[in-house]
Amino acid sequence: MKKSLRFQLSLSSALPVLLTVFLISLSAHFFIQRQFDQYITEQQAAHAASLADSVASQYDGGWNLDYLHGFGMYALSDGYIMKVYDAGGAAVWDAENHDMTLCHGVMDSILSRMRQQKPGTNVDLVDTSFDLTWDAGTAIGRVAIQYYTPNYAHESDFGFLRALDQLLIYAAIASLVIAVLIGLWMARRIARPITAATRAAREISMGHYDTRIPAHTGSTEMKTLTSAVNHMAAELESQEERKRRMTTDVAHELRTPIANISSYLEAMAEGVWEPTPERLTECHQEARRIAGIVGQLETLHRSEEHESAVHIASVPVRQVCESAAASFARALEEKNQQCDIAGEDFILQTDKDKLRQILNNLLSNAIKYSPEGTAITINLSHTEKKARIRVRDQGIGIPEAEQALIFERFYRTDSSRSRQSGGAGIGLAIVKALTEQLGGQITVESRENEGSAFTVSLPLQ
Ligand code: ADP
């Protein structure tokens, strides 16, 4: 059977209250009954003693039999069977001798009334006697008294106990109703954000990534759950957006070289153009451009998705920079540019190949976007925790408004678009993804027509 969280929460708060109220009411019922029986028993014992006192007080050197008879009958009507003996032990007045039937009748009616009105009560027959003295201690005899106890003399005694029981029942019902209402309210409060989170998760699973759970004032755990679901939705949304943009960007970037190749080949196939080595070389270059873009995309994908493993080793930074600069020797020479490495040398615990790829992309850009005869500097420095590698050029610079955008894939500034040498706009996206994979950050400072400086900060250990 499926049970809702609200039902389970309500039940789990109402059940303990029900059990507690039931146990308290039951023990209160028995406690009150016992205390009241005890109170009645004590009252009866005191009454028996006062009867004995009354008998002694009427003694005046001899027994007044009329008085004893009247007094004994009055005591009998209250359920006390009295026998008075003189100092010699002879019976002076005996209720049973006087009227045995009446005695039994009175006692039986007490017993049956108690059993009927208060079933389960342990009614005992008390047989007690008091020595009687007169005038400063002269023994004048003894009075024996028999009575049933506890004996509720008045109807209101039973009524009092019944009223207390009723009060307990009402209090129990009232607390149960309050517990159920509070339980329902609490359960609603707890279950509402969970229901909202479930609904949102279902919407998200159906591809509605813009779904968010509204912020609410719930428990800390609920706030954590809400922000986790919202974070997941935002992450999925941005992934979806990235995928969508990637598809259109890739299509856009590949369209031109593919269109060029196909128009060249078509013209050559139809005999409009001669397949000269120059035209075939151009086709080849376009094909290589496509292959280059695809290769860069693969690298970017692997580093963005953290698919390529990171191999940490002790890397002599200066040596890696020198070897990167050396690999660009020809390009530098063609543009009459110079690459200097300045600053201190140090060992960095990082992935050498990834660091090399970062340097390659930054150097390639520095060369591409700088005029002939300029200088490029790689500056190395470090603090206790961070290593800094700065690649500075004297190139065309990047407009301030575009500095934040150049790390996005396929983004190219207007000035670089107009240049033949420009790439597809993936290089810096790869640099950013790799730097982050190595636990670092990349920043740029640049002024138009003055130059740019890209700083890669990496953790030293
Ligand atoms: P691309 O392959 O086009 O160079 P990148 O992602 O490496 O792609 O760079 C993105 C854009 O950032 C470039 O098109 C260019 O506009 C700008 N850019 C990158 N490096 C520099 C630089 N050193 N100087 C000036 N502009 C740069």
pLDDT confidence bin for 215, thresholds 50/70/90 = confident
Domains held by the chain: number: 3
For 97, the token pair is: 């001798």
For the cut 80, the answer to whether the pLDDT of residue 421 exceeds it is no
Closest atom of ligand 1 to CA, residue 397: 25
> Domain with 50 in it: what CATH number?
3.30.450
For the cut 60, the answer to whether the pLDDT of residue 180 exceeds it is yes
pLDDT tens column, 23-45: 999 999 999 989 999 999 999 99
Please choose from 293, 297, 360, 369 the residue to mutate so as to test ligand 1's pocket, defined by most ligand atoms within 8 A of CB: 369
Q: What pLDDT is recorded for position 416? A: 61
Mean pLDDT score, 233-253: 84
Give residue 424 CA to ligand 1 midpoint distance, Å: 9
> Is the CB of 142 within 6 Å of ligand 1?
no
Q: 350 lies in a domain?
A: yes
| Whether 9 and 153 share a structural domain | yes
Global pTM value: 0.54
CA distance 367 to 416: 13
| Whether 278 and 373 share a structural domain | no
pLDDT tens column, 84-108: 999 889 999 998 888 889 999 989 9
Name the more confident of 31 and 219: 31
Please choose from 289, 390, 406, 407 the residue to mutate so as to test ligand 1's pocket, defined by most ligand atoms within 8 A of CB: 406
Q: Quick check: 399 and 413 in contact, CB under 8 A?
A: yes
Write down which residue in 304, 339, 363 finishes a domain.
304
| Whether 297 and 326 share a structural domain | no
| Whether 72 and 45 share a structural domain | yes
| Whether 296 and 425 share a structural domain | no
| Whether 158 and 286 share a structural domain | no
pLDDT tens column, 290-337: 998 888 888 888 887 777 788 999 999 999 999 999 999 999 999 999
| Whether 300 and 397 share a structural domain | no
| Whether 163 and 71 share a structural domain | yes
Closest atom of ligand 1 to CA, residue 407: 6
| Whether 158 and 9 share a structural domain | yes
For the cut 90, the answer to whether the pLDDT of residue 360 exceeds it is yes
Please choose from 253, 403, 412, 418 the residue to mutate so as to test ligand 1's pocket, defined by most ligand atoms within 8 A of CB: 412
Write down which residue in 240, 271, 304 finishes a domain.
304
Q: 138 lies in a domain?
A: yes
Lowest-pLDDT choice from 258-262, 350-354, 361-365, 409-413: 409-413
Task: Give the domain range for residue 326.
Answer: 313-459
Closest atom of ligand 1 to CA, residue 391: 23
Give residue 36 CA to ligand 1 midpoint distance, Å: 97
| Whether 144 and 68 share a structural domain | yes
For the cut 80, the answer to whether the pLDDT of residue 248 exceeds it is yes
Give residue 352 CA to ligand 1 midpoint distance, Å: 23
Q: Which stretch of DSSP H or E encloses residue 232?
A: helix 220-269
> Is the CB of 296 within 6 Å of ligand 1?
no
Q: 375 lies in a domain?
A: yes
- When the pLDDT of each residue in the chain is averaged and rounded to a whole number, the result is 89
| Whether 136 and 160 share a structural domain | yes
Q: 210 lies in a domain?
A: no
Q: Quick check: 196 and 215 in contact, CB under 8 A?
A: no
Q: Quick check: 139 and 133 in contact, CB under 8 A?
A: yes
CA distance 372 to 351: 33
> Is the CB of 396 within 6 Å of ligand 1?
yes
